[in-house]
Amino acid sequence: MRFGFDIGGTNIAAGIIDESNRLIAKDSVRFPRGEGNAAVIEACAGLYHRICDQAAIPEQEIIGVGVAVPGSVSPHDGVVIDAHNLGFHHTPLAALLSDALKKPVALINDADAATLAEHRIGTLKGAKTAMLITIGTGIGGGLILNGDLFRGGRNNGTEPGHMVLRNGGRHCSCGIDGCAETYCSATRLGKDGAVFRKPTAKEVIEAAKQGDKQALALFKEYIDDFGSYIASIVNLLDPERIAIGGGVSGAGSFLLDPLRADAEKKCFFETCPEIVIASAGNDAGIIGAGLIVS
């Protein structure tokens, strides 16, 4: 069996993955923000031991540990290069955690972990070329090329949220203007919706479903931008399938139907690939982290 951690800026989630890639036990703890690396390792170790105890699984049955973090990682030497939300900068996380757990530890970016899970057990299963796009506060995601997770040509990973969609456009938290996540994220819907007292993506989408004219106009603009983004990805990669995850994906067909139609109009190819809702859910990071353990 394998163990996976999904370390976020609010919580550390973790669980045990069995031989069939099923998550059979999980739990979480608060991320000790601002308390230093030692506190993070202590929290992870405590969570690891508790989950094993609660599941009545001897720790010697765990062959290794995978860790997903939101930031850039160097998988080969187990270092988190930069994870701003966690306060990790050139942090040898794999070595620190391995010393605490007495297990081999491997690192992966959290979006790559979710992509790997989606490819092994979710809606991307069986595709040789595919992409996961997660739509939340920002945009994350990962890429499957020739049946394998693609971590970037120089192992820096991929950052689909920071493709420039509009030159000189909205300012992004990364410091660049016009990034895709400033136009296609849940944050964009919330910021624009706040003008008419709908300050979250969920409120904008619900109002649009009910026929609110302002919400519908905003949602139409959002689909136009999102469709351009999807079409650009399709024209570059010609993937078999694109899965949409994250909070906005909860809109289901209300999102997918117009998004498919818009992307198809802008796609260079005669047919557009499948665009589907991701199915691995909130546990995708844990599962994907566990899957990198060899």
Q: What is the pLDDT of residue 152?
A: 84
Q: Which of 185, 214, 186 is nearest to 200 (CA)?
A: 186
Q: What is the pLDDT of residue 210?
A: 97
For 164, which DSSP code? B
Q: Which two tokens stand for residue 94?
A: 């794999």
Q: Look at the alpha carbons of 90, 282, 137, 150 in this order and tell me if their dihedral is positive or negative.
A: positive
CB 231 within 8 A of CB 271: no
Q: Would 2-113+283-291 and 125-278 be classified into the same CATH topology?
A: yes
Cα–Cα distance between 254 and 278 in angstroms, integer? Answer: 15
For 82, which DSSP code? E
Residues 6+ apart with CB under 8 A from 22: none
Only one residue has tokens 């163990």, namely 3
Measured in residues, the chain has a length of: 294
Tell me the HSE value of 211 on the side-chain side, using a 13 A CA sphere. 0
Give the homologous superfamily in CATH for domain 125-278: ATPase, nucleotide binding domain (3.30.420.40)
Q: What is the pLDDT of residue 5?
A: 98
What pTM does this model have?
0.87
Q: Which two tokens stand for residue 63?
A: 């062959």
Cα–Cα distance between 209 and 84 in angstroms, integer? Answer: 36
> In the CATH scheme, what is the code of domain 2-113+283-291?
3.30.420.40
Phi, psi dihedrals of residue 140, rounded to the nearest 5° = -120, -175
C-alpha gyration radius of the chain:
20
Q: What is the pLDDT of residue 131?
A: 97
Q: Encode the chain (294 residues) as per-residue pLDDT tens digits.
A: 999 999 988 899 999 999 999 999 999 999 998 999 999 999 999 999 999 999 999 999 999 999 999 888 888 899 999 887 788 999 999 999 999 999 999 999 988 999 999 999 999 999 999 999 999 888 888 999 999 999 888 877 788 989 999 999 999 988 899 999 999 999 999 999 999 999 999 999 999 999 999 999 999 999 999 999 999 999 999 999 999 998 899 999 999 999 999 999 999 999 999 999 999 888 999 999 999 998
Q: Where are the domains of the chain?
A: 2-113+283-291, 125-278
